């Protein structure tokens, strides 16, 4: 079926877009979708109905890279057996490895980098017509912008930064009304293209891109570039558009949200942005993600725990608790400082949600360091903890450090900490029995067809568990329901609506 944007009776070329990785990649996919649709393509849900399959890859850790390659190979299997003519890689893995990935994966017809996004429709048309795309040679994208954050705005106007446009983009043609949440974000001045790809009442909202930190284990800054904030007015305008598409909760995303505004001359700009978002009619909850513990400040904690529309939810990237390991990671902190931050949050909002990620098996880590981490986790009583085993990443300082740990030992430590975390987060969820929560309904019916599924304020999307309500006694998708927690199951909660 032709897209509503079609102006002729001829069917438009169909594209299936696959998104892997984090919420930031979800935003990038919606930008790509809008640019493709504006360029004359139509989006389809089934890859077997597509002339081209585009995979927005993740290049963060080894497991994510493998998943990206496997997905590209699965898409390539469709060629020759059906309608699919081309498979194209985009996203972080494509940007990070460029020509190397293209050479190693001939099954993909093209590997596009971030510099190709502005004309992604033209690139895809060229590829489908039998043209050859000249794959980029990877480069450190931090070198594309000035070292000084305040000097980046002018240079950013000529630099491709997915989700953070700095130059005007063409207006999106008007289209007939589409069922929510379909639609393309209007482009006015430096607004990003964006097309909703699902009907969720939640949406990620990118406020910045890139990172200036130099964590020894992380390669993201090299392929995502230096830190660039979006102007607050653009963020608020996009939030209004998202509400028009049926969104009731947004999660502010970036590589390092607590740095927002430093390149705009105001390191406390996040606090005022959160206040401004409260004026967006219909936006009932704002969630903040990717906070650096070393950059947390009392004013930010106060705003995040006092504004009624901001979820008291703290996504804090601790990574470890041993001061020795943290220094080798080129990070800051220790158990006392981290526990002090946790206590200050709970003093302001006792029911606040706090989640984190930790790495086990970093080079030089000892059994004593692991014990420090475990003791911290027991004392902190976090709601959710992602536990990862260390693996070398190309081009990172950690890959060159002495004290590399045998992979089997890394896995043993990861498994032990994971077992502890599973017990701790289940205990933390059980502590919430009897607590009143406000649940955003995201699904009616559930897996068994007899429940309503949503998330409370302390539960981030997809990774922090869910709250179930009895079917027939809760609201529709997109509504908020006040409820009382009556039971827990691991990190998940069971609640019943209250007046």
What does the block give as tokens for 225? 């570039």
Equal fold, 202-431 vs 435-497: no
The annotated binding site is made up of 22, 58, 92, 211, 215, 218
pLDDT for residue 179: 34
**pLDDT by residue (tens digit) across 327-337?**
999 999 999 99
**pLDDT by residue (tens digit) across 193-230?**
789 999 899 999 999 999 999 999 999 999 999 999 99
Give the CATH H-level superfamily of domain 435-497: Nucleic acid-binding proteins (2.40.50.140)
CA-CA distances (angstroms) from residue 155 to 7, 257, 260, 358? 37, 21, 18, 35
Question: With left for phi above 0 and alpha for psi between -120 and 50, is residue 471 left, alpha or beta?
Answer: beta
The domain spans of the chain are: 14-138, 202-431, 435-497
List strand residue ranges (DSSP E) for 46-152, in order: 52-57, 86-90, 110-111
The annotated binding site for [4Fe-4S] cluster is made up of 22, 58, 92, 211, 215, 218
Q: What residue ranges of the chain have pLDDT lower than 70?
A: 1-11, 165-192, 446-449, 473-474
pLDDT for residue 258: 96
CA nearest 52: which of 15, 17, 105? 15
pLDDT for residue 165: 62
Q: How far apart are CA 316 and CA 291, in angstroms?
A: 5
Q: How far apart are CA 462 and CA 137, in angstroms?
A: 34
| pTM value surpassing 0.85 | yes
Q: How far apart are CA 497 and CA 471, in angstroms?
A: 11
Cβ contact 355:460 at 8 Å: yes
154 burial via Cβ count (<10 Å: 0-12, 13-18, 19+): exposed
CATH classification (class only), 14-138: alpha beta
pLDDT for residue 156: 80
Helix (H) or strand (E) holding 236: helix 232-244
What does the block give as tokens for 5? 């944007």
Give the CATH H-level superfamily of domain 202-431: tm_1862 like domain (3.80.30.20)
Q: How far apart are CA 113 and CA 261, in angstroms?
A: 26
CA-CA distances (angstroms) from residue 188 to 165, 168, 238, 489? 11, 7, 11, 47
pLDDT for residue 153: 81
pLDDT for residue 400: 95
């Amino acid at each position: 079926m032709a897209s509503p944007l079609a102006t002729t009776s001829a069917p438009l070329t169909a594209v299936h877009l696959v998104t892997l990785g984090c919420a930031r990649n979800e935003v990038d996919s919606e930008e790509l979708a809008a640019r493709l649709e504006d360029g004359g393509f139509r989006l389809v849900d089934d890859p077997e109905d597509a002339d081209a399959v585009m995979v927005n890859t993740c290049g963060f850790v080894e497991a994510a890279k493998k998943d990206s390659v496997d997905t590209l190979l699965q898409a390539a299997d469709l060629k020759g057996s059906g309608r699919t003519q081309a498979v194209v890689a985009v996203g972080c893995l494509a940007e990070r490895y460029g020509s190397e990935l293209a050479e190693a994966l001939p099954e993909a017809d093209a590997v596009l980098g971030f510099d190709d996004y502005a004309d992604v429709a033209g690139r895809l048309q060229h590829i489908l017509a039998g043209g050859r795309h000249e794959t980029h040679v990877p480069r450190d994208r931090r070198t594309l912008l000035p070292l000084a954050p305040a000097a980046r705005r002018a240079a950013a106007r000529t630099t491709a930064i997915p989700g953070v446009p700095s130059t005007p983009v063409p207006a999106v043609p008007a289209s007939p009304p589409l069922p929510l949440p379909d639609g393309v974000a209007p482009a006015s001045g430096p607004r990003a293209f964006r097309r909703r790809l699902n009907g969720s009442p939640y949406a990620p909202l990118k406020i910045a891109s890139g990172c200036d930190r130099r964590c020894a284990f992380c390669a993201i800054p090299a392929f995502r570039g230096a830190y660039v904030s979006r102007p607050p007015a653009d963020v608020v305008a996009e939030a209004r558009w998202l509400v028009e598409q049926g969104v009731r909760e947004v999660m502010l995303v970036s590589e390092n949200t607590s740095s927002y505004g430093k390149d705009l001359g105001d390191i406390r700009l996040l606090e005022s942005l959160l206040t401004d978002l409260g004026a967006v009619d219909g936006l009932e909850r704002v969630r903040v993600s990717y906070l650096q513990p070393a950059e947390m400040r009392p004013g930010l904690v106060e705003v995040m725990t006092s504004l009624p529309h901001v979820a008291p939810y703290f996504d804090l990237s601790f990574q470890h608790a041993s001061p020795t390991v943290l220094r080798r990671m080129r990070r800051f902190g220790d158990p006392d400082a981290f526990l002090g931050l946790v206590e200050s949050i709970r003093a302001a909002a006792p029911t606040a949600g706090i989640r984190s990620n930790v790495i086990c098996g970093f080079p030089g880590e000892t059994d004593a360091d692991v014990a420090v981490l475990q003791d911290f986790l027991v004392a902190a009583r976090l709601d959710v903890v992602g536990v990862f085993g260390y693996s070398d990443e190309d081009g990172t300082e950690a890959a060159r450090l002495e004290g590399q740990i045998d992979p089997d030992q890394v896995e043993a430590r990861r498994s032990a900490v994971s077992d502890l975390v599973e017990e701790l987060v289940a205990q933390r969820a059980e502590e919430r029995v009897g607590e009143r929560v406000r649940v955003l309904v995201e699904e009616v019916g559930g897996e068994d067809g007899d429940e309503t599924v949503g998330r409370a304020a302390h539960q981030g999307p997809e990774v922090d568990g869910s709250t179930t309500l009895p079917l027939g006694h809760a609201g529709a998708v997109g509504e908020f329901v006040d409820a009382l927690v009556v039971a827990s199951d691991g990190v998940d909660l069971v609640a019943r609506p209250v007046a």
